[in-house]
Amino acid sequence: MKYSQFNSVIPYENRFALYNSYNQKFMVIDPLLKELLDAAKHEGVNSLKDVHPTFYDYLKTEEYLIDSNIDEVQKVKDLVKQVDENISSFLLTINPTMNCNFKCWYCYETHIKKSSLHVDMVDKIGYFIEKTVRKPEMQFFNVSFFGGEPLLYFERDVVPVIVKLKQECVAHSVDYAVSFTTNGYLVDDDFIAFFKHNGIVPGLQITLDGYKEKHDEVRYVSATKGSYDVIINNIKKLLLNKFPVRLRVNYTSLNIEDAYKIAEEFKDIPLDIKKEFLLMDYHRVWQDSKVDDIGRTVDKNIDMIKKEGIQVKHMSPNNVRDSCYADKRNSATINYNGDLFKCTARDFTTAKRAGYLSDEGDLIWEDDYLEKRMNVKFNNKPCLTCRLMPICNGGCSQHALEALGEKEYCVYYGDDSLKDDVVRTKINEIVESLQLNEV
């Protein structure tokens, strides 16, 4: 037997927690067992069988100790292939425009004022949906609208795509879903009425940049008018109509302190609706990322939000079992002009495109881009020996692609204390899940 590469031991409630990132489970051990485990790691884990057979057998059963012949890295590779090569679903992202009604300081996109889907592009997208949905293996088709701000030309450019999606999926018994990544400012009664009339419940990710004052410094209509109050009211409308909202809080070291106050805006929303349809999701603005102790402030925010009966998450990696949409073979992003991309977290210039949508509605990936992307993982040496590989895996395929041929990298800067923080978050998630199941 051998000690799993994917084990971590961290202090936990005056004892220690042993966590395995492949199995994604943990056990609490007292200091004596931790000492025995440390000794066994140095002397050979089989020696533990004689010293504490019960402990040894439990570690073996729960796969903290595994057969010496098992290639753990290969197990992760097999799991990645199983998840990312699944062809029974398709994840399509569409940028109806690269125009936007705001200009956030951290936005990586080039806003193009008159950009929009023309009728011929709507037709091409329709051809693609039609061809894909009719494949015998297809079971699920998801269309997500991004941008720019996708609600700018909603009725003219977005509605026809959704109507086509519903028509094809219903006709061929394929499940489907519609979602939006939007700043939420343009959500109105007509938007809600369209989906009610068509029997579709869209998912929405809406972003706030901290609590009101900080948010309005970033997202404003004019020098004297912010957007916070309008967005909050629109989110309430969506919730009361039972549309699920992922409220993404983009935080920095400057706006994090009182971001928890956002949750207080929803005191007048019934608790059962908040619990089912609202999720707050904390993400650090990447330009503000650095090694610091801001995580403690985030944890305090999260604890206070939970007291309001709202689900809340911080960035917790699960990049293998729940990999990024762009890691999957059956995913694509179509820009308003027909340019193809995989990742939406990059600038959508034609010079950086990965291909294009043909007149017949086919995805044409240039320079063998799709295969290169699908095979880019597992080339970064630090990842191959890391204890967090089954949940981190070096980030997404975009990270791996941009680092290809360059120096080795670690998304946690090789800092074990940051990795321990990830483990602690994972353990807390397991505990919370068990508590919810008990309720």
Q: Answer yes or no: do 412 and 263 share one domain.
A: no
Q: In the block, which residue shows the tokens 């015998």?
A: 136
Task: Map residue 7 onto helix, strand or coil.
Answer: strand
pLDDT at res. 283: 87
Tokens of 197: 């009339």
Residue 127, classed as helix, strand or coil, is helix
User: What pLDDT is attached to residue 36?
Assistant: 96
Closest listed residue to residue 209, CA positions, set 179, 233, 234, 231: 231
334 found inside a domain: yes
**Domains identified in the chain, total number:** 2
338 with 388, same domain: the answer is: no
Q: Are residues 152 and 55 in the same domain?
A: no
CATH of the domain at 347: 3.20.20.70
* Tokens 């998840």 -> residue: 83
Domain assignment present for residue 75? The answer is: no
91 and 50 belong to one structural domain: no
Q: Which domain holds residue 382?
A: 2-70+376-438
Q: Which regions of 229-287 does DSSP assign to beta strands (E)?
A: 245-251, 278-284
The Cβ of residue 35 has, within 10 Å, a number of other Cβ atoms equal to: 12
Q: How high is the pLDDT of residue 106?
A: 60
Residue 151 contacts residue 191 (beta carbons within 8 Å): yes
Listed residue (298, 269, 271, 267) closest to 282, CA to CA: 298
Q: Domain check: are 275 and 308 in the same one? A: yes
Tell me, yes or no, whether 294 and 352 share the same domain.
Answer: yes
Claim to verify: residue 403 and residue 343 sit in the same structural domain: no
Same domain? For 148 and 295 the reply is yes
Domain boundary among 367, 393, 415: 367
> Looking at the domain assignment, is residue 79 inside a domain?
no
- Note whether 363 and 430 are same-domain residues: no
Strand partners, 363: 357
Classified as helix, coil or strand, 430 is: helix
What's residue 439's pLDDT?
Answer: 47
Whether the Cβ atoms of residue 273 and residue 241 lie closer than 8 Å to each other: no
Q: Considering the entire predicted model, what is its pTM?
A: 0.90
- State the pLDDT at residue 129: 98
Question: Considering the domain boundaries, does residue 360 fall inside one?
Answer: yes
φ/ψ of residue 199, rounded to 5:
65, 30
Within a domain: 62 = yes
Q: Is residue 30 part of a domain?
A: yes
**Residue 80 lies inside a defined structural domain of this protein:** no
> Quick check: is 93 in a domain?
yes
Q: CB-based contacts of 2: which residues, under 8 Å, 6+ apart?
A: 45, 65, 66, 67, 68, 70
Phi-psi region of 148 (alpha: psi -120 to 50; beta: other; left: phi over 0): left
Q: Are residues 385 and 363 in the same domain?
A: no
Within 13 A of 29's CA, how many CA atoms are on the CB side? 21
HSE, side-chain direction, 13 A CA sphere, residue 331? 21
Q: In the listed set 367, 390, 411, which residue is the last one of a domain according to the structure?
A: 367
250 and 335 housed in the same domain: yes
Write out the two tokens for 200: 């579709």
pLDDT in tens, the chain (439 residues): 999 999 999 999 999 999 999 999 999 999 999 999 999 999 999 999 999 999 999 999 999 999 999 999 999 999 999 999 999 999 999 999 998 777 765 655 566 778 899 999 999 999 999 999 999 999 999 999 998 899 999 999 999 999 999 999 999 999 999 999 999 999 999 999 999 999 999 999 999 999 999 999 888 888 788 899 999 999 999 999 999 999 999 998 888 899 999 999 999 999 999 999 999 998 888 676 665 677 788 888 989 999 888 998 876 789 999 999 999 999 999 999 999 999 988 789 999 999 999 999 999 999 999 999 999 999 999 999 999 999 999 998 988 888 877 789 998 989 999 999 999 989 988 998 887 655 4
Q: Which of 367, 389, 407 is the last residue of a domain?
A: 367
Beta strands in 245-359 (DSSP E): 245-251, 278-284, 311-314, 331-334, 339-341, 355-357
d(CA 266, CA 273): 10
Asked if residue 351 and residue 320 are part of one domain, the reply reads: yes
